[in-house]
Amino acid sequence: MPTYKAPLEDMRFVLHELFDSTSRAVLPGNTDFSRDLIDSILDHASRLTEDVLFPLNQQGDLEGCVLENGRVRTPSGFKKAYKIFCDGGWTAMSASPDWGGQAVPISVAMMVDEMLCSSNVAFALYPGLSRGAYVALSHVGGENLKEIYLPNLVSGKWSATMCLTEAHCGTDLGMLRTRAVPKEDGSYGISGDKIFISAGEHDLTENIIHLVLARLPDAPAGVRGISMFLVPKFLPKKDGTPGPRNGVQCTALEHKMGIHGSATCTMNFDNATGWLLGEPNKGLAGMFTMMNVERVAVGMQGLGIAEVAYQNAVLYARERLQGRSLRGPKAPTKPADPIIVHPDIRRMLLTMRAYIEGCRAVACWVGNELEVLQKSDDIDAKLMAEDFSALMTPVVKALFTDLGFEIASLAVQVYGGHGYIRDHGVEQFLRDARISMLYEGTNGVQALDLVTRKLPHDRGRLLSRFFGPVVGFIEQQSQNRVLEPFLPQLRRAVEHLQSATSFIAENAPSNHDEAGAASAEYLRLFGLVALAFVWTRMASISAPRIEEPGHRGKFYRAKMRTAQFFMDRLLPQTGALLAAIQSGSKIMMEFEDTAF
Amino acid sequence: MPTYKAPLEDMRFVLHELFDSTSRAVLPGNTDFSRDLIDSILDHASRLTEDVLFPLNQQGDLEGCVLENGRVRTPSGFKKAYKIFCDGGWTAMSASPDWGGQAVPISVAMMVDEMLCSSNVAFALYPGLSRGAYVALSHVGGENLKEIYLPNLVSGKWSATMCLTEAHCGTDLGMLRTRAVPKEDGSYGISGDKIFISAGEHDLTENIIHLVLARLPDAPAGVRGISMFLVPKFLPKKDGTPGPRNGVQCTALEHKMGIHGSATCTMNFDNATGWLLGEPNKGLAGMFTMMNVERVAVGMQGLGIAEVAYQNAVLYARERLQGRSLRGPKAPTKPADPIIVHPDIRRMLLTMRAYIEGCRAVACWVGNELEVLQKSDDIDAKLMAEDFSALMTPVVKALFTDLGFEIASLAVQVYGGHGYIRDHGVEQFLRDARISMLYEGTNGVQALDLVTRKLPHDRGRLLSRFFGPVVGFIEQQSQNRVLEPFLPQLRRAVEHLQSATSFIAENAPSNHDEAGAASAEYLRLFGLVALAFVWTRMASISAPRIEEPGHRGKFYRAKMRTAQFFMDRLLPQTGALLAAIQSGSKIMMEFEDTAF
């Protein structure tokens, strides 16, 4: 049976020590969020995830969801857990107090998100989608719609979906066919079929609100003719309670590789009543406010699964007795040594650890900037934060999920043959992690977004929000002797990223395929540099504290060694990535299509 | 629905053009195996795998195996397919004519193996284990046992298993507890429990022969006290037909991530009658003759699944319309371009292709040397072939299976969200591929075998069998102008491998952990150099033929471009691997155990 314990110590480290938490505390609305309150939120979240959600994770995978007569039954225990989740106020965590929310600092909410995804990513998807819908609705919805729907989404009484994908179009929404026909009363009749709708139908809430992309009769072709509509499962009565059934049905559930506890629905809209959200034909912009929230959240899924996979691999490596240390028995009274004595097992565990703690630090960095963007009243700071978070969104989504999958696979490897057996629960992490590289824009789409939109924007303005602090830190710390084992490697990796950026900037304008050809490697290179930066920062903070007595000293020593491991073992990939990027697009593009 | 078409053209290329096929033809016993006969074997295998086995693959995954009253029911169609398999003589392919076999050249048999694993790896495991047992039995079995069992294994009438693993020991067989008590008639009573026994029980054959590792009463502790026994499910009668039931039972089936069609059994031996194979307490040596055959076969599983995953990704990339080329519409009459126009899709497809065709060439190289080892009467040639195949066995096993999994994951990625849905069949490839990195010795164990046994053996004698031909080729071709885009990169990668080898040779003797710490990266580095070598050779053969008319010219042009892609995009990893190796074991070993 797998286990999970929320990594509170490391979360507190990144939240309170790694970044300047005072700058978060002074933001408007944040005065109440003292260190004590934040720690208390984390503690409560750890109990929820360890005691309520994680125990349902394996059973949820086994049972999956069942569709019967148009109704979807979620796995045993999900309903009760969802009630506990709502009663605890977790659906309200990120929302504005105007609508009953708590407006918890985003970096803190992201740590809670990580715990949710570690403990039960299939469950987390139900309230998860509501949050994105909340953001979209509060941005573009009319006041009357907000007043009916937002409080119910925030309380968790109702949940929401994003209905974008159709069978023939996912990435390329310009092709979508769902139609919206205006009715006399100002509402619209929505008709069409959507696929891959997470939480499209389930038994957790009394109503489900679909945000649907569709075309108006006079809409121009392509992405400029897409509008967004709000379509509830039950049409609210005057008093705001659910009324008559609307014309929307779940017609099928997908059978998937993983996240079996999450209902992935095919939805049919048959002249369903909906209301326009935002302006006609500008639905994609509204949906993207939702999508960006989701993309960061999906990144946290990768991190969350990586963490629980790592924890179980560590426990197994400590318990499993097999073979002897290459340098002679370490546990001579036992029939064999625990496999944690073997260097290759340690290599795997440290690889997992170095990526996980690095990603957690990057998450906190991005969360802090999103917080400035949301709450600051300093226009310049907001603009910079907007640039930075726009730049980092595809990186967080793709890097964290690629690594989440790699880490889950390493965990299986630590278990050996036992990792392939369902009972141990570790192969579930691998299956559950795989989806995160695909949905909310495949990781290839993220890389393309980074390279073709974020990079060239305003001559690299977004990029400067990243290079600025990194290069500044390197300069500022150049005389810091404790960083001697780190700074040269960080500097070299930054140079690799700069060279790769120049290569793209020089070649892509005359041949757009150069951007596409470089994109996947560029995103990984970018991500590694971001990790190297946060690891060097973590080392700078930890170095003076390694002699602290007891557990704290051990914590900081582990940080120093993991930092070194990252620099020595993982960061050298940047050179190979740069070489691949610099080889250009020619070879791949001139390969004859029919020769594949 | 997934599809499969055996890659016969590329198989013929590696078998007949890449390596000197005359040297194979002149080996004793091979005179009949003309090019025509070999091509005919491949053709027959393609029909078997495309028409009989592949259509059962997806359904087999869905149904899995069922245990009822001690009997295991294989998925629908497996029984009929197994009969066709035996009738076609495929169980006899690799066996000696002395026992009814065909002694097909090993490189050819490996290509057939690849097809079997592409089409239905779960099915392929049933006859697959028999082949390893055939090898062990023919090496160490007494004549009376051989006469009863070998013809039945060769005809496929009976099948076999390898019973090594117990719940508390897999890698570390020294701890095994199954006991063997001598009886008066010269047989033994075998008692104990074994787990993870592939094909331990099923409904395909009239008898199942278990090769079981167990301890004699007076056996020394550890690996020097393990003996091997032959334990049939039904004790043969005097006339050789199956007689009374023996004391061996399947008590459970494992629920696994994949290969659902393969019965992975827990086997209980309750004073079952068995016969000693080979000498007492020397069972591990006998088992390893079997294990080495299996390790190469498992490598081919990785390659086989990679091939079918690649083929489906290509088809999907040609059919799926989504978005437009970054350089303007390529299919203006369609609503969108096929995704094969996108550089990042091509990057994924070419990565898959470059690894697959490279591995196939390495497989043929190893197969040719195994063939010399088996059939040559030239003692020196045999010794060299033995060295080479011993060196390459862990590389083939670990490299091919690591890449097989990576490639299956890339195929899922090409499919986008649809890749995560069971119907498309591509996620099954990912699940089925994952086991190959674990069984027959985890890939970590392979890497350790390479670095701690194969590398230092007789001062690097085995290694010289690899470096010899590679360095010789580089020197011999140094003036070959068509190889100008390849040789410098190959040379550089060889230098990286040499540096890594020196690092290990210098540091491991005084600290064995240095070998373990370097092992995984060293194996990958070694594998990349082997791939670079075969790619350069393939380029040298293809370059003069790219202008050939029609399809042949296209084939050779594709080879040249894939070779270039491998050199430019994938080979640069060697630098990063070398850097990781040279960072040594210190950081990982001094990380405090309790700090993980």
ipTM of the complex in this document: 0.98
CA distance B332 to B324: 9
Locate B329 and state its tokens.
Answer: 């519409």
Instruction: Please identify among residues 290-319 of chain A the ones whose CB lies closer than 8 Å to any CB of chain B.
Output: 314, 317-318
Q: What pLDDT, on a 0 to 100 scale, did the predictor assign at position B576?
A: 98
User: Does the pLDDT at position A573 exceed 80?
Assistant: yes
Query: pLDDT for B74-93, tens place per residue?
Result: 999 999 999 999 999 999 99
A538 touches chain B (CB under 8 A): no
CA distance B343 to B351: 12
Query: pLDDT for B472-525, tens place per residue?
Result: 999 999 999 999 999 999 999 999 999 999 999 999 999 999 999 999 999 999
- Fill in the DSSP letter of residue A31: T
% of chain B residues with pLDDT over 90: 96
What's chain B's average pLDDT? Answer: 96
How close is the nearest chain A Cα to the Cα of B144, in Å?
35
Q: Is A440 a catalytic residue?
A: yes
CA distance B372 to B366: 10
Choice among A440, A506, A521, A548 that is catalytic:
A440
- Chain A residue with minimum CA distance to B452: A326
B5 touches chain A (CB under 8 A): no
Q: What pLDDT, on a 0 to 100 scale, did the predictor assign at position A81?
A: 98
Helices then strands, counting H and E runs in chain B, come out as 18, 11
User: Does the pLDDT at position A287 exceed 90?
Assistant: no
User: Does the pLDDT at position B243 exceed 90?
Assistant: yes
How close is the nearest chain B Cα to the Cα of A441, in Å?
9
| Length of chain B, in residues | 596
A84 touches chain B (CB under 8 A): no
Query: pLDDT for B405-432, tens place per residue?
Result: 999 999 999 999 999 999 999 999 999 9
- Chain B residue with minimum CA distance to A417: B438
Chain centroid offset of residue A541 CA: 26
Put simply, the answer to whether A171 touches B326 (Cβ < 8 Å) is no
Judged by DSSP in three states, B528 sits in helix
Side-chain half-sphere exposure of A333, counting CA atoms within 13 A:
0
Q: Which residues contact B355 (CB under 8 A, 6 or more apart)?
A: B306, B403, B406, B407, B531, B566, B570
What's chain A's average pLDDT? Answer: 96
Residue B595: band (very low, low, confident or very high) from pLDDT cuts 50, 70, 90: very high
CA distance B81 to B123: 9
User: Does the pLDDT at position A223 exceed 80?
Assistant: yes
- Chain A residue with minimum CA distance to B443: A413
DSSP-H helix ranges across A416-549 = 426-434, 443-448, 461-476, 487-507, 513-542
Domain A8-139 has CATH 1.10.540.10: yes
Put simply, the answer to whether A443 touches B413 (Cβ < 8 Å) is yes
User: Does the pLDDT at position A492 exceed 90?
Assistant: yes
- Fill in the DSSP letter of residue A1: -
Q: What is the mean pLDDT of residues B446-471?
A: 96
Range from A295-304, A533-542, B127-136, B414-423 carrying the lowest mean pLDDT: B127-136
Residue B292: band (very low, low, confident or very high) from pLDDT cuts 50, 70, 90: confident
CA distance B565 to B352: 11
B412 touches chain A (CB under 8 A): yes
Instruction: Please identify among residues 136-165 of chain B the ones whose CB lies closer than 8 Å to any CB of chain A.
Output: 165
Q: What is the mean pLDDT of residues A243-261?
A: 98
A62 touches chain B (CB under 8 A): no
- Chain B residue with minimum CA distance to A313: B596
Computed over its alpha carbons, how large is the radius of gyration of chain A? Answer: 24
Query: pLDDT for A443-490, tens place per residue?
Result: 999 999 999 999 999 999 999 999 999 999 999 999 999 999 999 999
CA distance A497 to A524: 10
User: Does the pLDDT at position B291 exceed 90?
Assistant: no
Put simply, the answer to whether A420 touches B413 (Cβ < 8 Å) is no
Q: What pLDDT, on a 0 to 100 scale, did the predictor assign at position A118?
A: 98
A420 touches chain B (CB under 8 A): yes
- Fill in the DSSP letter of residue A19: S
Query: pLDDT for A357-409, tens place per residue?
Result: 999 999 999 999 999 999 999 999 999 999 999 999 999 999 999 999 999 99
User: Does the pLDDT at position B288 exceed 90?
Assistant: no
Bridge partners of residue A276, in order along the sequence: A229
Query: pLDDT for B27-66, tens place per residue?
Result: 999 999 999 999 999 999 999 999 999 999 999 999 999 9
Q: What pLDDT, on a 0 to 100 scale, did the predictor assign at position A288?
A: 80
| Pick among B318, B344, B440, B451 to test the A interface (most A CBs inside 10 A) | B344
B588 touches chain A (CB under 8 A): yes
Put simply, the answer to whether B343 touches A517 (Cβ < 8 Å) is yes
B426 touches chain A (CB under 8 A): no
Locate B41 and state its tokens.
Answer: 């074997």
Q: What is the mean pLDDT of residues A96-123?
A: 97
Q: What are phi and psi of B442, to 5 degrees?
A: -55, 160
Q: What pLDDT, on a 0 to 100 scale, did the predictor assign at position B264?
A: 98
Choose the closest CB to A512 out of B314, B327, B336.
B327
How close is the nearest chain A Cα to the Cα of B357, in Å?
12
Beta-carbon neighbour count of residue A212 at 10 Å? 30
| CATH number assigned to the domain with residue range B159-285, chosen from the 4 options 1.20.120.80, 2.40.110.20, 2.30.31.10, 3.20.20.70 | 2.40.110.20
Query: pLDDT for B325-359, tens place per residue?
Result: 999 999 999 999 999 999 999 999 999 999 999 99
Contacts of A350 in chain B (CB under 8 A): 587-588, 591
Q: Which residues contact B577 (CB under 8 A, 6 or more apart)?
A: B496, B500, B521, B522, B524, B525, B528
Q: Where do the structural domains in chain B lie, given as residue ranges?
A: 8-139, 159-285, 452-588
Locate A495 and state its tokens.
Answer: 């140079």
% of chain B residues with pLDDT over 70: 100
Put simply, the answer to whether A196 touches B346 (Cβ < 8 Å) is no
| Pick among A347, A357, A592 to test the B interface (most B CBs inside 10 A) | A347
Beta strands B188-198; B234-236: pairing state:
unpaired
Q: What pLDDT, on a 0 to 100 scale, did the predictor assign at position B408?
A: 98
Instruction: Please identify among residues 231-270 of chain B the ones whose CB lies closer than 8 Å to any CB of chain A.
Output: 254-258
Q: What pLDDT, on a 0 to 100 scale, did the predictor assign at position B290?
A: 80
* Residue B283: closest CA among B180, B432, B435: B180
Helices then strands, counting H and E runs in chain A, come out as 18, 11
Choose the closest CB to B516 out of A326, A593, A596.
A326
Put simply, the answer to whether A434 touches B423 (Cβ < 8 Å) is no
Q: What pLDDT, on a 0 to 100 scale, did the predictor assign at position B175?
A: 93
Beta strands A242-245; B227-232: pairing state:
unpaired
Query: pLDDT for B139-198, tens place per residue?
Result: 999 999 999 999 999 999 999 999 999 999 998 999 999 999 999 999 999 999 999 999
User: Does the pLDDT at position A289 exceed 80?
Assistant: no
